[in-house]
Chain A
């Protein structure tokens, strides 16, 4: 039998029961739409996290000061102050592939200018920091390596800090008092927005780490060291070399734990995206259940349809339709229902996630692959749930079918 007329027959059968066809397809529309929207939300969240991890910089290795145990009480990472400026210099000098290093110290404190003041975070960094984090200035200039060597009283500030203290005034060249030390503002950073943890990344003052250690925070140890490697392929080797270099410098005997932690950006990204990946799978699975229910709806309607059209099947068989012809006809009907539902579902799923993006401000990401998978899956649902009713129709005895009332 020819496939063209079969499509025609299926199409006509579906049109004959418009309301029923629409309702049956609705099950698939909702199922596919839910899958598309849910996976879109999950992927959007994941992409957002990934983008923020990527904003740490490319091929970055982070070295955190370790924890110590004193009188049985363990401090957290960074609590021990085991990293020294000399460690950072050694890394810069000895580890191959390293192109940038930034020594980092962090504190929070009150800053003031004129009659305004604001509580903000103080980051001490090297001049390389802006390149490592790919964080350009919106206005003004960054501090230089020379500023770091001389521990000059200069800083750059984030957009939030700038607005809070200076309002609409241009802060560049102004004096900002930090712990009563006057710092000259060299520039304002481009806004970065919220971090994945919800911290306003623009609420910040960045100054040379030497200035921070000497004039603001005090102390001689670093919280962490940011290292950037030139070539992605060298990251892993560099990580190992940093570990052995620091163990050697810190006189850690074999068998004892490190007093520092080394994490590549990739490891951090993996941990951070694991949650959103689980969320995507979970949302997708829940939506998948509704697709399954839609499939059962198709099966139900096809069974009703086979019973209703028993005589028609008998007539078709009497005039020469083989079992396969009948099977094909009902399968095409089921697949048409499910794939038309699938297409509409994809469209409504995309629309739903757009609406969510705009009104609920949720990031959504719909990939071509998720659309293709959703479409193929909905067609497969048609085949799977259509097969049993279709086979039932094909197996009818023509005499019985013709006699059916």
Chain B
């Protein structure tokens, strides 16, 4: 188990080539994330946090350095192998939800299972999707289309979709960026609850308040880790929701 380390980056670089110019986005990042952690990845735009997130999410490969996910080196895998890793071990939540339009909540949640190696029957797919939707508080809305759901509800569908394949890591890219403050807290409540049940979460955000719901904050600047430490005064979303007046973000 390697001391429970789930994600290990060793001296990861990422260089983009635009014509003649080489633009370094990540310039030597080493990072370890343990199983069960809730990490907020912070930094201004251009700090390299999105690039690092793409690498963590196996959407992109590092130019140099190594990335171990669950003890397996994934830095040298090809497109198809990365797709399989994403399907099996990772779950994504995006700022703009990225749900398929005119497709029911249930079918959106089922999506990763369609590409999964395990072959489930139609009924099994349905049952699993309904269970996950229920766990994020969407029971009864399985047949709704995204256009019939609020922003917060849409993000819950996206979370359900991310969770359906029981991933090792939940990766969230500005999950509250398109949501109002109260809904943001609701989403954070779900994240904290999931984290308590043992799910590892890595969340990109540029908002200090949102980062305060995580256990640990990693701050980036100019492609390097500037600061890495535990959150001293961690916020508890569930508590805040019980005191509506205090939930101003």
User: Which residues of A come within 8 Å of B, CB atoms?
Assistant: 1-2, 5-6, 9, 12, 16, 311-312, 314-325, 398-399, 402
Q: Does B114 belong to the interface (CB within 8 Å)?
A: yes
For A6, list chain B residues within 8 Å (CB).
114
Report the stretch among B30-38, B96-104, B220-228, B229-237 that lies at the interface: B96-104
Residue ID in chain A nearest B51 by CB atoms:
A399
By DSSP majority rule, is chain A's interface helix, strand, loop, or mixed? helix
B86 CB to nearest A CB, Å = 5
Residues of A close to B119: CB separation below 8 A: 2
A315 engages B100 (CB within 8 Å): yes
Give the interface size bracket for B toward A.
20 to 34
Asked if residues A16 and B102 are in contact (CB atoms below 8 Å), the reply is yes
Tell me if B112 counts as interface (CB < 8 A to partner A): yes
Beyond A6-B114, A319-B115, 16 extra complex contacts between A and B, CB < 8 Å = A1-B114, A2-B119, A5-B114, A16-B102, A311-B98, A315-B100, A318-B86, A318-B98, A319-B112, A320-B86, A320-B88, A322-B80, A322-B84, A399-B59, A399-B60, A402-B94
Closest 6 CB pairs of A and B: A320-B87, A319-B112, A320-B115, A322-B83, A5-B114, A322-B80
Q: Is the CB of B98 within 8 A of A321?
A: no
Among residues of B, the one whose C-beta sits closest to the C-beta of A321 is B115
Residues on the B chain within 8 Å of A12, using CB: 102-103
Question: Least Cβ distance of B74 to chain A in Å?
Answer: 14
B interface residues, Cβ below 8 angstroms from A: 54, 57, 59-60, 79-80, 83-84, 86-88, 92, 94, 98-100, 102-103, 111-112, 114-116, 119, 161, 165
Taking a contact as CB atoms closer than 8 A, the residue among B59, B79, B88 that contacts A323 in the complex is B79
Closest A residue to B119 using CB positions: A2
CB of A15, distance to nearest CB on chain B (Å): 9
Chain B residue with Cβ nearest A1: B115
Indicate if the CB atoms of A320 and B100 lie closer than 8 Å: no
Whether B83 lies near A317 (C-beta < 8 A) is yes
Nearest CB in chain A: distance from B65 CB, A: 18
Q: Provide a sorted-by-A list of 23 A–B residue pairs whose CB atoms are within 8 angstroms.
A: A1-B115, A2-B114, A5-B114, A9-B114, A16-B102, A316-B115, A318-B57, A318-B59, A318-B86, A318-B92, A318-B98, A319-B112, A320-B86, A320-B112, A320-B115, A320-B165, A321-B115, A322-B83, A322-B115, A323-B79, A324-B80, A325-B115, A402-B59
**Interfacial chain A residues near B165, Cβ < 8 Å:** 320
A340 to B88, CA, bound (A): 36
